[in-house]
Structure 1
Amino acid sequence: MSDNNNNNKQTYDIYRDSNLRFLGYSNEVGEAFRQLWPKHIVNLTYGIAVAYVLADTADKGIKAHEKQGSTNKDVAIRAGDVLTWQMFASVIIPGYTINRLTKGTSYLVKRFKVPNARYIPTAIGLASIPFIISPIDKLVDYLMDEIYRKYLK
């Protein structure tokens, strides 16, 4: 999700353009390690991801508020858009995807009695993260444009 200013020039966004962005993917790492880590550690990774989402939402809401001529409705729409997009693109869909992928891999390695397979589901989950990000972002962009944003204009 790009964030452009009035001149349509790309501006630097610490939540999107820096390594801080990786905090939004912490729950995917937690899901990849779900079978190896205690549940409270996996839950902590979700807390980190949601904190990142809320910080980005607050940042975009504040920037919308500071924009000359903005209304409370403009601020709410911008913050709601960021919150919805980030929750689906950074937390819900990727977390579910990695969860199912590692669960399925775990089932297969047990079913086929793969020796020393304890770390295979985690490795597959971690390796898949870079490959799922862009398709999920594009899917959420599409769904937001067709369902959410269409009715807010």
Structure 2
Amino acid sequence: MDPSEDKPGGTVDIYRDTWVRFLGYANEVGEAFRALVPVGVVWGSYAVATAYVTADAVDKGKKAALVSARGQPRPDHPVAVAVVDTFVWQALASVIIPGFTINRVCAASLYTLRKTTRWPLAVRKWTTTAIGLSTIPFIITPIDSGAGSVDFLLDSSLRKIYNEEEKHK
């Protein structure tokens, strides 16, 4: 299915509608492999995910600036708000919450396997990695879907600040 079919005017957001979106999940994969790879590889996966988050935020800022430059002011989405909102949302939904979740799932599974099995360490580590990788698809929707926890968190906090500032202008 072509992602542009669902978009008004057929526009595709490269950071949300294409394979590029998966770069935001690099740190979850890094966390899943933490038991098997050097810590530098895990930190590298965070660098990839953070670069994705930053690129998306810059892109949304540029789009907000273009809308304003064409004489179509969008007082509800000035450039700074677009950048900050996108960066915070993506940082929480793509890096912080899922990275922490996979880290804790893997740590708990490795601990549990150590306490409950006599499997060799290598088998426990590979099993932990498999558990971490298989958990990723299950955590995406509750975290970053349209009505997910990150939207609720931002709507209940940061976005209230944006709306208050707009009321006083």
Q: Tell me, yes or no, whether TM beats 0.5.
A: yes
The 3-state SS of whatever aligns with 2:125 is coil
Aligned residue in 2 for 1:3 = none
Q: Name the counterpart of 1:128.
A: 135
2:108 maps to what in 1?
Answer: 104
What TM-score, normalized to structure 1? 0.90
Correspondent of 2:87 among 80, 83, 87:
83
Give the 3-state SS of the residue equivalent to 1:119 in structure 2: helix
Q: Give the Å deviation of 1:70.
A: 5.5
Deviation at 1:147, TM superposition (A): 1.0
Question: Deviations 1:11-55 (Å, cap 9, x if unpaired)?
Answer: 421000000000000000000000100011110000000000000
Structure 1 runs not aligned, ≥5 long: 1-7
Instruction: Detail structure 1 runs of 4+ shifted over 2 Å in the superposition.
Output: 8-11, 68-71
1:40-59 equivalent positions in 2, closer than 5 A: 40-59=40-59
> What secondary structure, in the 3-state scheme, does the structure 1 residue paired with 2:154 have?
helix
2: distance between equivalents of 1:151 and 1:97? 28
Return the offset for 1:151: 1.8
- Return the TM-score normalized by structure 2: 0.81
Q: Where does the alignment leave 5 or more consecutive residues of structure 2 unmatched?
A: 1-6, 164-169
Deviation at 1:118, TM superposition (A): 2.6
**CA RMSD, Structure 1 to Structure 2 (Å):** 1.6
Aligned residues: percent identity?
48
Superposition map of 1:2-151 within 5 A: 9=8, 11-68=11-68, 69=73, 74-115=78-119, 116-137=123-144, 138-151=148-161
Q: For residues 18 and 76 of structure 1, what CA distance do their matches in structure 2 show?
A: 25
Cα distance between partner residues in 1 of 2:131 and 2:118: 14
| Secondary structure in structure 1 of the residue aligned to 2:111 | helix
Equivalent pairs counted in the alignment come to 145
Cα distance in 2 for partners of 1:131, 1:125 equals 11
